[in-house]
Amino acid sequence: MLGRFHGVERRIDGERALVLEGSPLWFTTRMHSQFTAGDHDVAVLEILDFGYDEASEGLVFHQSRFKGLTPLE
């Protein structure tokens, strides 16, 4: 699992949650339900809390890599 986060600063917090350093937004969640849809497992999470950092830049996971966002001209 952590292979996809290679090169991204990360840590495990006191609640054993994965935290991506510098993330502009984060959620604290718990599992509400889980089901199978075709060849995927779907997890429905309940959001317990969230936070954000207005100074952080956006982060996108696309084509198996994390990328930054650039403003439109």
Q: pTM value?
A: 0.60
- pLDDT in the model for residue 2: 60
Tokens of 12: 């495990």
**Mind listing the domains of the chain with CATH numbers?**
2-68 (2.30.110.10)
pLDDT in tens, the chain (73 residues): 567 777 888 888 888 888 888 788 889 889 999 999 999 999 999 999 999 988 887 778 888 887 877 778 7
Q: What are phi and psi of 17, to 5 degrees?
A: -95, 145
Under 8 Å between Cβ of 28 and 49: yes
Phi, psi of 57 (to 5 degrees): -85, 160
